[in-house]
């Protein structure tokens, strides 16, 4: 929406006589564009970057890592036991768990690392490091511990766990799609091997 104002010249008696010009206020247009961009790139529930923005950031990180000679790992995590919370306590409680979890995850990663919500109860972390996959494994262990700490929601202690798959850039994994897919497959392997790992 644009707001236009007219500059009007008045005669000696104070009556409008002619339009001299117009001004357009595009502040609302810019605000609307920013809102659309936010909707397109950020998860509405957790305010974390969504799958689209995370994939873009991963592609940027891959290009940057090749220039700087850094390693990148992606930790793909899926919550264990979250479906039970949604099914027994309702989606409102499940949403509260996801919001609290998003804050925990943001506080658990380093400043240069990136996190996003891929959908449902799936998240991913992009981690830079010179000692991969050791740094990613240490991050995954820390995240499992942080996620496993009970959530206090509506005077109830709720516990979820996490299964995490890790993929390190290099070899066959040179683009964001391949790397996320490999981390996703590794996460399913962690679930198949008993969850919480």
Tokens standing for residue 154: 């509506």
| CB within 8 Å of 80: residues ≥ 6 apart | 160, 161, 162, 163, 191, 195, 196
> What does the pLDDT average to over 159-186?
89
pLDDT digits (tens, 9 = 90+) for 46-66: 999 999 999 999 999 998 887
195: left (phi over 0), alpha (psi -120 to 50) or beta: left
pLDDT (tens digit, 9 = 90+) per residue, 11-40? 777 776 676 566 566 777 677 777 777 778
Closest CA to 117 of 68, 66, 55: 55
Q: What is the pLDDT of residue 8?
A: 59
What are the tokens at 125?
């972390």
Q: What is the pLDDT of residues 102-155, one digit of tens each?
A: 999 999 999 889 999 999 999 999 998 888 889 999 999 999 999 999 999 989
Query: Which of the given ranges, 88-97, 124-133, 162-171, has the highest pLDDT on average?
Result: 88-97
Residues serving a catalytic function are: 121
- Tokens 């644009």 correspond to 2
What the block records as the tokens of 68 is 């700087």
Asked whether residue 192 carries a pLDDT value surpassing 80, the answer given is yes
Q: Residue 145 corresponds to which tokens in the numbers above? A: 């511990």
pLDDT confidence of residue 190: 93
98 pLDDT band, cuts 50/70/90, is very high
What tokens does 90 get? 């309702």
The token pair at 105 is 């995850």
- What is the predicted pLDDT for the residue at 173? 66
- Confidence (pLDDT) at 20: 59
- Residue 60 CB partners (closer than 8 Å, separation 6+): none
Cα distance between residue 47 and residue 37, in whole Å: 13
Phi, psi torsion values for 5, nearest 5 degrees? -125, 150
Rounded to 5 degrees, what angle do the CA atoms 172, 176, 177 make? Answer: 80
């Amino acid at each position: 929406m644009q707001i236009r104002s007219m500059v009007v010249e008045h005669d000696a008696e104070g009556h409008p006589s002619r339009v001299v010009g117009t001004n357009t206020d595009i502040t609302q247009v810019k605000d609307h564009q920013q809102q659309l961009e936010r909707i397109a790139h950020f998860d509405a529930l957790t305010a974390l970057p969504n799958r689209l923005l995370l994939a873009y950031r991963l592609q940027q990180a891959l290009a940057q890592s090749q220039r700087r000679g850094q390693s990148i790992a992606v930790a793909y995590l899926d919550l264990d036991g979250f479906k039970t919370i949604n099914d027994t306590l309702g989606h409102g409680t499940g949403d509260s768990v996801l919001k609290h979890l998003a804050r925990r995850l943001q506080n658990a990663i380093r400043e240069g690392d990136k996190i996003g919500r891929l959908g449902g109860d799936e998240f991913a972390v992009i981690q830079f490091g010179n000692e991969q996959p050791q740094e990613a494994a240490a991050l995954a262990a820390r995240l499992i511990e942080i996620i496993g700490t009970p959530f206090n929601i509506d005077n109830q202690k709720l516990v979820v766990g996490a299964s995490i798959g890790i993929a390190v850039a290099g070899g066959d994994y040179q683009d964001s799609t391949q790397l996320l897919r490999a981390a996703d497959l590794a996460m399913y392997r962690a679930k198949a091997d008993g969850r919480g790992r």
